[in-house]
Chains A and B, each alone.
Chain A
Amino acid sequence: MKPAPFDYAKPATVAEACRILSEAGGGATMIAGGQTLMPLLNLRMSQPFILVDINGIAGLKGVSRGDGGTRVGPATRQSEALRDATLNRHLPAFVKALSHVGHYQTRNRGTIGGSVALGEPAAEMPATAVALGAMIEIASVRGTRTVAAKDFYLGPYMTVLEPDELVTGIVYPDWADGHVVLFREVAQRPGDFALTGLVGAAEVAGDRIARVGLAFFGMGPTPIRMVQAEALLTGAALSSLDVDAVAAAGVADCAPFDDHHASAEYRRLVGKRILAATLREAFNLKVAA
């Protein structure tokens, strides 16, 4: 038995889950797929008094279309989302990023909401939520609120979620049909956390980039929205795009770290190169002579 002792609850409704979280006064943790949380429990890095299993709440599963966006229930399994026709049709960047999350075996159990809500800085789905402009719906006994993904992440595994709050949905706004998917990651092995990676989408009208959203993962304490690169790209003409300047601007917003896999400087170098390569490939641009 690896985890420290805890009690277990499997509520059937969001209201019941919120009540348990509230009454636990910060001592409860939610489990959905558990593919990130279970290792933390087994290593005793997380020691909740109560584990609240949200897999029994039917309303937290599935994908739906609404008002200019696609809503993903947080308890939707990653493997189901990968196969989902709506997500493949409307959010190809989301599906592309998701195909790099963990392994076949962990995607069969892991959930979208777990990945988004935990906020591992090197994970694909938090950066995808930031890049695509997702809104995160949150509930507690105190009511509901919605937070933009770009304002949701505070640090590694730290978010604006209060201990009594539960993510009830992630809403991704629509991107125009035929939008360009931007994705690349560098990892030591398939399925490992990325050393660094990027995800985003762009709408192109004629020769101009009309709209773009881009974020790095593995390049700082949170997913990093490339604010400066987005500003350079938005409205830019593809025929005269200075890709290297955009790539330099992209990493300017980052705060990568040193660890036993790579130095911060290496991450910055790789980040710059994959951003330049991704943009050239996506927009079919030649390397300047």
Chain B
Amino acid sequence: MSETISRATVAMTVNGRRHSAEADARTGLGEFLREALGYTGTHLACEHGVCGACTVMVDGVAMRSCLMLAVQADGCEVTTIEGLAAPDGTLHPVQQALHEQFGLQCGFCTPGVAITLAAVTRDNPAATVEDMEKAMSGHICRCTGYQGIRRAIRQLAGEVPGPHGGEHA
């Protein structure tokens, strides 16, 4: 693509399904996923890269969908929160851990949190609590439900978090 364009047809695979839709050059990937393709599980909040709610995987790599244009994801494979659970509805281990450990309150930040933890644990199945917590610095939970997320992380790392871990939820 060497010419200058203001609008383009963007084709991408989302959670294994192929899609194609028109987008303005300035349309963000997160907005495209939500508005053009209907993947509203991806949540847009700050839209300047601070909060992490919009995190998706592009070609298997976790990144902010608000800091990337839809046209830049042309030809890419995108994984959103809708693509984490198995087709039969079995939750992804990250989703299961968040569920069991009360790792979400209002749930707005959860799609991004789950995608990050899924990427970290896939790249390193032996990821430690510290590895996952470091990656979590890129997410804000405005319910401040961090201790539930941390318990879920301990569960994912094979530790036994215990009921509320003796900490404030």
Contact = CB atoms under 8 A, between A and B. Distances in A.
A binds B: yes
Interface of A: 1-12, 16, 20, 31, 34-35, 38-39, 41-43, 50-51, 53, 55-56, 79, 102-106, 108-109, 189-191
B77 interface: no
5 contacts: A8-B6, A9-B1, A10-B2, A35-B67, A105-B62
**Minimum-distance CB pairs A-B, first 6:** A103-B138, A39-B48, A8-B25, A38-B67, A104-B135, A190-B137
Interface in B103-151: 116, 120, 134-135, 137-138
A190 B131 CA distance: 13
Contacts of B137: 103-104, 189-191
Interface stretch (B14-22, B68-76, B83-91): B68-76
Contacts of A189: 137
A38 B26 contact: no
A73 B25 CA distance: 26
B134 to A, nearest CB: 7
B6 A7 contact: yes
B68 A108 contact: no
Interface residues of B toward A: which range?
20 to 34
Nearest to A11: B2
A5 B24 CA distance: 8
Given A38-B66, A109-B63, A104 B116 contact: yes
A53 B1 CA distance: 10
Given A3-B26, A7-B4, A39-B67, 6 more contacts: A2-B26, A2-B28, A3-B28, A16-B2, A34-B69, A105-B138
A38 B71 CA distance: 14
Most A CB within 10 A of own CB, among B55, B66, B72: B72
A9 B3 contact: yes
Interface in B14-58: 24-28, 31, 47-49, 52, 55
B11 interface: no
Nearest to A52: B4
B157 interface: no
A6 B63 contact: no
Contacts of B69: 8, 31, 34, 38, 51
Contacts of A38: 28, 48-49, 66-69
Contacts of B48: 38-39, 42-43
A1 B27 CA distance: 6
Contacts of A8: 4-6, 8, 25, 69, 71
B64 interface: yes
Given A4-B26, A39-B48, A190 B2 contact: no
A10 B73 CA distance: 12
Nearest to B116: A105
A108 B62 contact: yes
A106 B61 CA distance: 10
B2 to A, nearest CB: 6
Interface string B84-100: 00000000000000000
Most B CB within 10 A of own CB, among A10, A20, A102, A105: A105
A2 to B, nearest CB: 6
Given A6-B26, A7-B5, A106 B49 contact: yes
Given A20-B4, A38-B49, A104-B134, A1 B62 contact: no
Contact of B6 (A3, A5, A35, A108): A5
A5 B26 contact: yes
Contacts of B28: 1-3, 38, 42
Given A8-B4, A8-B5, A34 B67 contact: yes
A10 B137 CA distance: 32
Nearest to A10: B1
B64 A105 contact: yes
B111 to A, nearest CB: 13
A22 B64 CA distance: 31
